[in-house]
Amino acid sequence: MSQDVTPFTPAGARHRLVDVPGGRIHLVEQGTGPLVLLVHGFPELWHSWRHQLPALAAAGYRAVAIDVRGYGRSSAPDAVEAYRIGAHVEDNVAVVRALGEETAVIVGHDWGSTIAADSALLRPDVFTAVGLFGVPYTPRGGMRPTDAFAMIGGDEEFYVSHFQQPGRAEAEIEQDVRGWLSGFYATLAGDTKPASGEGAVFFVPKGGKLSDRFVTDRPSWLTDEELDFCAAEFERTGFTGALNRYRTMDRDWEDLAGQDGAPVTQPSLFVAGELDASIAWLADAIKAFPSTLPGLVSSHLLEGCGHWVQQERPDEVNRLLTAWLDSLDGPTTTQGPTRTR
């Protein structure tokens, strides 16, 4: 594929399509050295790692950002079952192999954090270390996920429950893809998120829409040109592939029965924005890191930062990420969470 797919593809990076068992995965790679696989979340693309690709390449790493299956230029199977966690793990392993490598460090954000953690859990022979951004590792537990989410919100519906019925969320989002994306990005960003009641955006009132509580400002870290690109990709693909990740959560729970409560033992990194609502909801998961992430090297909460950490604070994230990667070549010591301005 052409190097000029977008005007903000980092200089020296190139776009490729590689074969995987479920079709093809589109990726953007830059640099040479140990492989670092970057996995985005919802609703994003490889583009969310645009600031990390050149920084990792300059630090001596081969940085590869993928479009997760169902997104962008990667294959988007029709069946909901095609998006269960095992399929994503297989995609990641196949990408590593297609690039001529045996092992990689895997780093994920949002849903990509979960995919990265489970890739490390299920294939420790391939993924030798794992970085988690925004969403902490939560081992498989005793309650079926949709049952747990149905208990949240009282008279309103938690967004994960809202996403379960095929076609329902798509009908809302695809009426105005650019506007919906802009509102979703802005509402979860540190510089534009609501001053109070920010958690309410994740709950849908009866007869309402998720977007009813979005803010209207575009976040400062996303240009109009970049928003246009993201919107154009989702206009072309639709949102079903992206939303199907939510719709396989119960299947994942069944598939991971053999890993109930299992820790991820490889060296790990956790970075999140202190204003990210996920940090409040999943506070117990972070407290459990000594047992669930026994290989944790460092944990960081970025002050004033929202959900989109690697886009909101690229320089700071690049510094933390490259320092952690460099530490993997020598002795590591587990550190408690630190707050960074």
Q: How many other C-beta atoms can be found within 10 angstroms of the C-beta atom of residue 244?
A: 22
Q: Is the dihedral of CA 62, 68, 74, 79 positive or negative?
A: positive
Exposure pattern of 312-339 as b/e (b: 16+ CB <10 Å)? bbbebbbebbbebbebeeeebeeeeeee
Bridging pattern class, strands 203-204 and 35-39: unpaired
* Residue 162 among the catalytic residues: no
Instruction: Tell me how crowded residue 82 is: count the other CB atoms within 10 A of its CB.
Output: 18
Given the residues 26, 51, 162, 307, the one annotated as active site: 307
Identified catalytic residue from 67, 91, 110, 118: 110
Instruction: For residue 88, give Cα distances in angstroms to 20, 91, 106, 133, 269.
Output: 10, 5, 13, 18, 21
User: Residues 6 or more apart from 126 whose CB is under 8 A from it?
Assistant: 92, 93, 96, 102, 103, 104, 119
Integer Cα distance of 86 and 251 in angstroms: 10
Q: Are the C-beta atoms of 103 and 267 separated by less than 8 Å?
A: no
Q: Which residues contact 257 (CB under 8 A, 6 or more apart)?
A: 140
307 is catalytic: yes
* CA angle (90 as vertex; 93, 124 as ends), nearest 5: 55
Give the distance from CA 240 to its chain's centroid: 17
- Cα separation, 308 vs 192, in Å, equals 12
Tell me the longest C-alpha to C-alpha distance in the chain.
56
Sequence-separated (6 or more) residues with CB below 8 Å from residue 258? none
Amino acid at 15: H
Which residues are part of the catalytic machinery?
Answer: 110, 307
